[in-house]
Amino acid sequence: MALHSGATMIMFYDVAPGAVDDHDDWHTHEHMPERVSIPGFLRGSRWTAEEGGPRYLMMYEVAGIEVLTGPDYAQRLNNPTPWTSRVMTTLQGMTRGFFRLSTASGLGLGSAMVSIRHSAAAGRENELREWLAKVLPGISSKVGVASAYLFEPAAKPVMTKEQSIRGKDAEAPSVLLLSGYQPRQLAAVASSELGTDRLRQHGAVESVRATYRLGYSLAKQELE
């Protein structure tokens, strides 16, 4: 289950109380197949928070950033289905971004994921990026860890009909994803090797982290 591409859309959000079951049913049986059927979309995956939040991390791997800024995706976003329109009213605190893979280490994706959203102090972006590129290979080889991926913003999503229903999305900073096969060990490694203080020492000014488990994934080949 290695990454299918170096371009991706990542989203973080919560769902209103009482709407979780409908959301997961919609996302599994309508929304994910609809999105992955768009030309250039390669795979989608849904992750649910085990510790921290928000509740969901969604990742869509695409052939290139131009897929996310192009007309086929925009057409879907501006013509939501009735079910999508209903679910959009229950989504809360959406953070969404279009990213390019900056650094990758290890192989594949485990069933557990630690997400660290972070931004760098002005003028220290390269310092933080270079430090992460240096330490991630060692981290991805530790017990409980399978891989590490650093994604950096590549383009800004525009306002669409779907977004107008749920409310304006927050812009996403860089995202560091650590995947593994032992959730507790994975979280411990992330805490010790990529703790808030260590990130700050190398240029980060803020970070938000959570631990997720894989809930559902769908690849283009399965639709074809």
- For 59-105, what is each residue's pLDDT tens digit? 999 999 999 999 999 999 999 999 999 999 999 999 999 999 999 99
Residue 126 has a CB neighbour count (10 Å cut-off) of 10
Residue 71 maps to a domain: yes
Cβ within 8 Å of residue 202, ≥6 positions away: 124, 127, 128, 131, 132
Type of residue found at 115: S
Torsion on CA atoms 165, 166, 170, 176, rounded to nearest 10:
-120
Residue 214 maps to a domain: yes
Segment 153-178, tens digit of pLDDT: 999 999 999 999 999 999 999 999 99
> What pLDDT score was predicted for residue 168?
95
Crossing angle between the packed helical segments 125-140 and 183-193, to the nearest 10 degrees: 140
Residue 1 maps to a domain: no
Do the Cβ atoms of 15 and 23 come closer than 8 Å? yes
Query: Residue 114 sits in which domain range?
Result: 7-223
Residue 1 has pLDDT above 60, yes or no: no
Segment 193-223, tens digit of pLDDT: 999 999 999 999 988 999 999 999 999 999 9
* Mean pLDDT across the chain: 96
- CATH code for position 126: 3.30.70.100
Residue 124 maps to a domain: yes
Segment 4-14, tens digit of pLDDT: 999 999 999 99
> What pLDDT score was predicted for residue 2?
79
Torsion on CA atoms 147, 132, 113, 158, rounded to nearest 10:
-120
> What pLDDT score was predicted for residue 224?
82
> What pLDDT score was predicted for residue 11?
98
The total of structural domains in the chain comes to: 1
Residue 187 maps to a domain: yes
Residue 2 maps to a domain: no
> What pLDDT score was predicted for residue 30?
98
Pair of tokens at residue 99: 């990213």
> What pLDDT score was predicted for residue 79?
98
Residue 184 maps to a domain: yes
> What pLDDT score was predicted for residue 192?
96
